[in-house]
Structure 1
Amino acid sequence: MEYVRFGRSSLRVSRIGLGAMGIGSPSWRKWILEENEARPILRTAVEAGINLIDTCDFYSSGASETVLGNALWDYASRDEIVLATKLGNPMSRHANARGYSRKHVISAVDASLARLKTDYIDLLQTHIWQPDTDLEELVVAFDDLVTSGKVRYVGATTMPAWAFVHCVSLAKQMGRTPFASMQCEYNICHREAERELLPFCREYDIAIVPFSPLARGFLCADRRKAANHTVRHESDDYTLKHYHRPGDFMAQKRVAQIAEKHGVEPAQIALAWALRQPGITSPIFGATKAEHVTSAVAALNARLDDDDNRVLIDTYETRPLDVRTH
């Protein structure tokens, strides 16, 4: 396994990270794995040297964190894992059970620590964007959690570029802990982050940990064919809404062709493409089988040439300017 610096910090993370959205409770999403099914995946990841594990309090309504707390420490010491989680999505029905008020941020972290069975979170990130957020309150609350020792680093996810830039600026002005990372959707079919977010992160040496490098599995196979249907694809409305454009299917076709040329799996080509892009620190991939982890690790050895890269990027269809999709 290769390890790289986490942006400007001296922290080192594995070149790929394991996302735990698929771990938790199938009552939340049909494709989610319970603890007994998740354990082989976690063990395979740890044994392969993956040290960045990313989850969220919202995943399976907290069950993803609970499963990690129950299982992960059987395979790894706390010190060797860079554990990341997120907050911001609704965790209850009352008005303050979501968003980025100081009240919710601190309460959410305490709840995550209990579920994860740990004394600290390595990387605390915002999750879904809330347009009415008081950014100064957010920056101060995150910094106070670092000062308290409950959190080591802070970052953001799916935040509009203007808000992210403002948060970084506020932290600098107030002498507070700056965001060390940006986790944004980024893959061959979804490249809106290239407009503003990625250039800013590269300029200021902020870690980029993209999620969905395989486009939620869309790039792994032609899902129009019944033989390639999966439970997730059939029930994930996000994939159907955002990854069924003509250009997306052309990208999937080109991925398959290049995979055949190199004698590897399409998923490895999609991941290798993300790894090849400037400034990318550690793409976060999901796995529902241990072999998915093995495949992702093998993608580290896949080498796309300039022609491969050009063929892939030429398929791209831009998306409308919208803060929800970057």
Structure 2
Amino acid sequence: MGLADYLTASSGHNTSPRVQAGYARYIGMSSCAAWQFHMMQNYAINNKLTPFISMQNYHSLIYREEEREMIPLCKHLGVGTIPWSPLSRGLLTRPRSDADSTVRSKADPYTKLLQKEDDPNMAIVDRVEGIAKKKGVSMSQIALAWLMTKEPVAAPIVGTTKLENLMDVIKSVEVKLDEEEIKYLEEIYTSKPVVGH
């Protein structure tokens, strides 16, 4: 078998046969409660099945509920996280004044919920914008640089249709935030209902 004959990683519930057959080298889980993930990981280990090496979860400056249980569990188990929607559907990529500037922001009802003028999320957007201006980088880079300070983040999942946006987010690995900047971004976060699983 050549390299192209393998799946590098496979996320989901029913992948152990693929791993045992040699078609996937690693498996990961996506979007479940911490207790469910812990149960599945224990089951895999206790039954000599392939354990999960990653958790694909909803995590960003706008939604940090995974920090309560899932992130500590992943640290404890030695499992990397692969956050989805790290830019909060684009909300963390542009100033508040440009919130309605994309097709998605105009059409997506969930994005509209995130960008209500009086919503605490918008204050977070303002802070991301402020640090981005101070450092001379994009807001996307600040939001992703913050996320990459959160152990055990392995790699955030970003979606883009434009090459220049992809090149921009790649540069986030070069952006370093100090403790004061991290605190400034985090301190106004307000707890939210758990969503995403």
TM-score of the alignment, normalized to the shorter chain, above 0.5: yes
Q: Secondary structure at the match of 1:286?
A: coil
Task: Name structure 1 gaps, 5 residues minimum.
Answer: 1-77, 80-117, 127-137
Q: For the Cα contact (< 8 Å) 2:45–2:51, is it kept in 1? A: yes
TM-score using structure 2 length: 0.91
Which residue pairs with 1:214 in the alignment? 87
1:91 equivalent in structure 2? none
Cα distance in 1 for residues equivalent to 2:113 and 2:39:
30
* 1:229 equivalent in alignment to 2:98: no
Deviations 1:233-269 (A, max 9, x none): 1222232234546211000000000000101111110
The CA deviation string for residues 97-127 of structure 1, in whole angstroms up to 9 with x for no partner, is xxxxxxxxxxxxxxxxxxxxx633211112x
The answer to whether 1:120 aligns with 2:6 is yes
Taking the aligned partners of 1:125 and 1:238, their CA distance within structure 2 comes to: 25
The answer for the alignment partner of 2:166 in structure 1 is: 293
- Matched residue of 1:284: which SS? coil
Give runs of aligned pairs for residues 220-259 of structure 1, distance below 5 A: 220-222=93-95, 225=98, 228-242=100-114, 244=116, 246-259=119-132
AA matched with 2:70: L
Two-structure CA RMSD over aligned residues (Å): 1.9
Amino acid in the other structure paired with 2:46: Q
TM-score by structure 1 length? 0.56
Q: How does 1:301-312 map to 2 (within 5 A)?
A: 301-312=174-185
In structure 2, the CA distance between the partners of 1:158 and 1:243, relative to structure 1 (3 Å rule), is farther
- In 1, Cα distance between the equivalents of 2:75 and 2:172? 23
Distance 2:75 2:101 in 1: 37
* Map of 2:55 onto structure 1: 182
CA contact (8 A) 2:96 2:122 kept: no
Instruction: Check the 8 A contact 1:189/1:243 in 2, yes or no.
Output: no
Q: C-alpha distance in 2, partners of 1:185/1:243?
A: 18
Offset of residue 273 of structure 1: 0.4
1:196 matched to 2:69 = yes
**What is the SS of the residue equivalent to 2:88?**
coil
Q: Decide which moves more: 243-252 or 267-276.
A: 243-252
Q: Cα distance, 1:224 vs. partner?
A: 5.2
Aligned equivalent of 1:105:
none
Task: Kindly state the Cα deviation for residue 283 of structure 1 after the two structures are TM-superposed.
Answer: 1.2
Q: CA deviation at 1:230?
A: 0.5
Distance 1:216 1:298 in 2: 19
| Deviation sequence 1:110-151 (CA, Å, 0-9, x none) | xxxxxxxx633211112xxxxxxxxxxx4xx42111111222
The residue type paired with residue 144 of structure 2 is L
> Does structure 1 conserve the Cα–Cα contact (< 8 Å) formed by 2:27 and 2:51?
yes
Give the whole-Å Cα distance in 2 for the aligned partners of 1:243 and 1:163.
Answer: 31
Report SS of the residue matched to 2:32: coil
| Local SS of the residue matching 1:213 | coil
Name stretches of at least 5 consecutive residues in structure 2 with no aligned partner. none
CA distance in 1: counterparts of 2:41 and 2:80, whole angstroms: 13
- Write the letter of the residue equivalent to 1:263: G
CA distance in structure 2 between the aligned counterparts of 1:258 and 1:225, rounded to whole angstroms: 17
Identity over aligned residues, as a percent?
33
The aligned length equals: 195
